[in-house]
Structures are given as structure tokens and as C-alpha cells.
Amino acid sequence: MLAVLATAGKRTLQDIIDLDPDDIAKIEGMSPELAEKLNGFLNELTEDGDEEVESEVEAPDVARAEPPAETQAEAPAAEGETPAAEGT
């Protein structure tokens, strides 16, 4: 199946997700059985992805929060840098 998709220029997952079921059936070398399997896989993938996106929207984004200022000040200096003196 991957060889058939690659021959049709569909090399990334995004390329394949963007295909309509009718387009999949029209790909040269794609049998009806392979088209049905791929469509089933894509339906499951996009259904699961929709649920994941909904849960991400509902959950607060704490991963992007910046650490407290004292944590930033305590970070060791990078190689070749001198640590800043406190109170300057």
C-alpha cells in the first residue's frame, strides 16, 4: 500500500489524511480492498484525533507556563558566561 501511495505522490501522513475516499479509490494500483482498509484506518485516525483535540481545548495549557523568577535566576551560567552578581 505504501508503494502505491508513494507512486501517487502521497508520501506524508498529511498527504494521505487530506485525500477524499473517492480520490483514494482513483489512485493507480489501489485495489478496492486496499482503498477500503485505508479509508477505515483514516476514519479511525481522524475520529480519535478529533477527541484528542477536544480534550486539549478543554484542558488548561500549563506546559507553556514560565518557571518562577527565582528558578530562572538560579540557573547555572552557560559555558563561557560569567554568572551575574546578585543585586546589580
For position 46, what pLDDT does the model report? Answer: 82
- In this structure, the number of other CB atoms found within 10 A of the CB of residue 32 comes to 8
Cα distance between residue 37 and residue 13, in whole Å: 15
This prediction's pTM: 0.51
pLDDT tens-digit profile, the chain (88 residues): 889 999 999 999 999 999 999 999 999 999 999 999 999 999 998 886 555 444 444 544 445 455 555 544 555 555 665 555 555 5
Note whether 10 and 19 are within 8 A (CB). yes
Residues in the chain: 88
